[in-house]
Structure 1
Amino acid sequence: MSRAGSKMRMMNKMMEKVKHSKVMRTTIPAGMAGTHLGPTLGQRGINIAAFCKDFNTRTAHYIEGVPLPCRVKVRPDRSYELVIHNPPSTYFIKQAAGIQRGAMKAGQEVSGKITLKHVYEIAKIKQQDPPLHLTPLKQICELVIGSAHSCGVEVVKDLDPKEYGEFLMERSTVVEEQLAELKEKREAKLLRK
């Protein structure tokens, strides 16, 4: 018995306690900070109601539901510093392309198209984020182009609106077929369980 007890004490010493980092990284929809953040904020000792009110007032100028990456630095006195970044590049890319979702198989299908002007404008917005302040605009443009390719969005010099409208109509039927296929796979998976 004492042997098992000593082993347990040794195991407890070896195990590290869970330590929460001082900076919490999360994505919160604009104007919609609510109870889903409760456990995360509560573990760090932040007043949930005050945080939600602060976040919602600071994001009131955004369209409700726009995803916003946030960094919350928690101080020892349980106060916090909230840094709200601009929406992710993929959000802007999908908005510029006029699509709801990216390609299921990036590199094998094109889900939409954007122009180089779109890339430049997105890069100008993303340059305002604190991690990218000192990054050259050319490099940010390359990052945006990489994100576009990962979404299956093609970057072109010029875009004919009529031709692109027809492309989006064709693409909507492809998306509907893909969603139906995914639904069938999920149902088949549930039946197997």
Structure 2
Amino acid sequence: MSRRLKGAKKAAEKVIHSTPIYIYIQAGMANPGPPIGPQLGQRAINIAVFCKDFNDRTKHLKPGIPIPCLISVNPDRSYNLKMSTPPISYFLRQAAGVERGAMNASKEVSGKITVKHVYEIAKIKSQDEMYDCIPLQTICKEIIHRARTMGIQVVHRLDANEYAQFLEERKQIVEKQLKEIEEIKQAKLLRTA
């Protein structure tokens, strides 16, 4: 009787109910440092093996692309890694040719994309497990909504020369905004010191 209890106790100890880790990792740039190392180390995963595995899986992608990853840990310290396509915001910034969205999306335009861009992004995102049974039209609506929240206009046609001029003007506005943000930070630091 006591042998059965000991065997059942050992089996119960092996079951680890941990929540999966959801993290963005840059393609081909996984390293044991933060934020990956501490999160995987807490769950007793071999960090060096994980980094090598992730970098091998993403070597065909452009380095630095943010990849959403879902990591679930097994009781034997192994893991299951599910990777998705980059987030919609990444694709929108790439299509618009901007580094960041608008600070106030209702008052300023940070970039412009065409309907064709929206369709191409939707085709890529439809490969994700999350969008498995969702129609392409619904994904397109979500992309358009996300573009609006970032201050990116969706237009039917886009002239390359006009847009290049727009981006130059936008670059100056962004530099001015970044200077204002830095001045506010410095003012807060002076008040607290």
Q: TM-score range by the shorter chain?
A: 0.7 to 0.9
Residue type of the alignment partner of 1:32: M
Of the candidates 11, 22, 34, which is equivalent to residue 25 of structure 1? 22
Contact 1:69-1:87 at 8 Å conserved across structures = yes
Q: Which amino acid counterpart does residue 162 of structure 2 have in structure 1?
A: E
Shift of 1:20: 7.1
Secondary structure in 1 matching 2:49? helix
* TM-score normalized by the length of structure 2: 0.88
Which residue does the alignment assign to 1:121? 120
Task: Give the gaps of 5 or more residues in structure 2.
Answer: 1-15
CA distance in 2: counterparts of 1:156 and 1:113, whole angstroms: 7
Cα offset, 1:111, TM superposition: 0.2
Show the 5 A alignment for 1:1-193.
Answer: 21-34=18-31, 35-36=33-34, 37-193=36-192
Equivalent residue letter for 1:68: I
Q: How many residues align?
A: 175
Q: Distance in 1 between matches of 2:148 and 2:168?
A: 21
CA shift at 1:22, angstroms? 3.1
CA distance in 1, matches of 2:100, 2:30: 24
> Structure 1 residue 161: deviation in Å?
0.7
Backbone CA RMSD of aligned residues: 1.2
Matched residue type, 1:160 = D
Q: Separation in 2 of the partners of 1:123 and 1:140?
A: 6
TM-score, normalization by structure 1? 0.88
Structure 2 letter corresponding to 1:24: I
Change (3 A) 1:74 1:114: same
The separation in 2 between residues aligned to 1:190 and 1:30, in whole angstroms, is 35
